[in-house]
Amino acid sequence: MVVGSSADAFAKMGKGSSFGSRASRTADRPIERTVTPPPASAPLAPPVVAPAPSYAPSPAYGQSPGFFQRNPFMSGFMGGLVGVGIGSMLFGHSAYAMDASPGGGILGLLVQLALVGGLIWLLVRMFRGSGSVGGLSGGNRVLQAIPAGAPRTVARIAKEFEPSDADKQVFAQIMQESQRAWTNGDIGMLKQIATPEVVSYLADDMAADSSQGVRNVIEDVQLLRGEVVEAWTEGNRQFVTAAMTFAARDYKVRLDNGQVVEGNPNQPVQSNEAWTFVRVGGGRWLLSAVER
């Protein structure tokens, strides 16, 4: 018996499209067995380090910059003011006043010394007031290397449990019966072996074929190979995805006279599909999705 490739299938249950739900794994393709090692993970990006400042070095950790460090203009201004005051006191007005009036010169000298002393006291208070609070300076920053790694992903567990041999027999039986129900347009049978979502999807396709006056026939279905590739639990529901390879005669006929309009009824075609089954609270298994 010659078996054609899956590309020769002219119809298929569900018109060759994937359908149904795999719950939280609907967007994921079923895990496939392969002998090819997985690609090496991409290396993490190097750490991102903030650039060094272009101005003068910051004070050591735990110390705050002084008032004059943060205000260089005030530093120069105050320094010049003090220098002018002292120079004038020692070399200028004070010497002339002492020559003209010794008593007045001494009094003026004392007044200038008091002014300079008050100025120095004020500068010391300003210097202390610009210090840090609690030993930490608000303007002091410590540069740290920031790792720029890729977001972490949690590896998916392929099999959280192992279906029994009896379960696997049920999977094969559902595959056979669903193909028969599709061929016969038997919605009642589909409701017993498939979820409402699958039944609704297939019922729409049956109605589309019926409106065009054709029917898809899938017969002599033979399961060539089957393997459970995923089994997981979500709440009180259990899911199993099985990779199935089967051969079947797949063609279309007219409803009025049975004439073949597509496909070859004499040559089986082979299909490779992933079928997912679900049961709730240990109940019976139902067809939940088919992925091609």
The domain boundary, picked from 138, 155, 172, lies at 155
Contacts with 180 (C-beta within 8 Å, 6 or more apart), sequence order: 186, 189, 218, 221
Is the domain of 200 the same as that of 226?
yes
The domain boundary, picked from 155, 176, 196, lies at 155
Position 291 scores a pLDDT of 95
Is the domain of 95 the same as that of 187?
no
Q: Is the residue at 44 inside a domain?
A: no
Q: Is the dihedral of CA 16, 22, 24, 28 positive or negative?
A: negative
Q: Determine phi and psi for 179, rounding to 5 degrees.
A: -65, -40
Is the domain of 65 the same as that of 128?
yes
Is the domain of 10 the same as that of 127?
no
Closest CA to 282 of 242, 241, 233, 244: 233
Is the domain of 65 the same as that of 178?
no
CB 183 within 8 A of CB 209: no
- pLDDT exceeds cutoff 70 at 284: yes
Q: Is the residue at 41 inside a domain?
A: no
Q: What is the rounded average pLDDT of the residues 65-82? A: 52
Length of the chain in residues, anyone?
292
Q: State how far the Cα of 9 lies from the Cα of 202, in Å rounded to an integer.
A: 17
Contacts with 98 (C-beta within 8 Å, 6 or more apart), sequence order: 105, 106, 109
Q: Is the residue at 38 inside a domain?
A: no
- Count of the separate structural domains present in the chain: 2
Is the domain of 168 the same as that of 144?
no
Q: Calculate ∠ Cα 126-131-132, nearest 5°.
A: 155
Q: Is the residue at 56 inside a domain?
A: no
**29 pLDDT band (50/70/90 cuts)?**
confident
Is the domain of 261 the same as that of 187?
yes
Q: Is the residue at 281 inside a domain?
A: yes
Is the domain of 225 the same as that of 147?
no
Q: State how far the Cα of 180 lies from the Cα of 248, in Å rounded to an integer.
A: 11
- pLDDT per residue as tens digits for the range 125-175: 665 655 443 333 434 433 344 355 544 445 678 999 999 999 999 999 999
Position 118 scores a pLDDT of 73
CATH of the domain at 285: 3.10.450.240
Q: What is the rounded average pLDDT of the residues 88-106? A: 51
Q: Is the residue at 180 inside a domain?
A: yes
The domain boundary, picked from 134, 155, 176, lies at 155
User: What is the 3-class SS of the chain, one letter each residue?
Assistant: CCCECHHHCCCCCCCCCCEECCHHHCCCCCCCCCCCCCCCCCCCEEEECCCCCCCCCCCCCCCCCCHHHHCHHHHHHHHHHHHHHHHHHHHCHHHHHHHHCHHHHHHHHHHHHHHHHHHHHHHHHHHHHCCCECCECCCCCCCCCEEECCCCCCCCCCECCCCCHHHHHHHHHHHHHHHHHHHHCCHHHHHHHECHHHHHHHHHHHHHHHHCCEEEEEEEEEEEEEEEEEEEEECCEEEEEEEEEEEEEEEEEECCCCCEEEECCCCCEEEEEEEEEEEECCCCCEEEEEEC
Is the domain of 117 the same as that of 187?
no
Q: What is the rounded average pLDDT of the residues 49-74? A: 50
- pLDDT exceeds cutoff 50 at 45: no
Q: Is the residue at 52 inside a domain?
A: no
Domain ranges, residue 233? 6-31+159-291
Q: Report the predicted TM-score, pTM, of the whole model to 2 decimal places.
A: 0.58
Q: What is the rounded average pLDDT of the residues 264-283? A: 95
Position 16 scores a pLDDT of 79
Is the domain of 145 the same as that of 175?
no
More confident residue, 210 or 11: 210
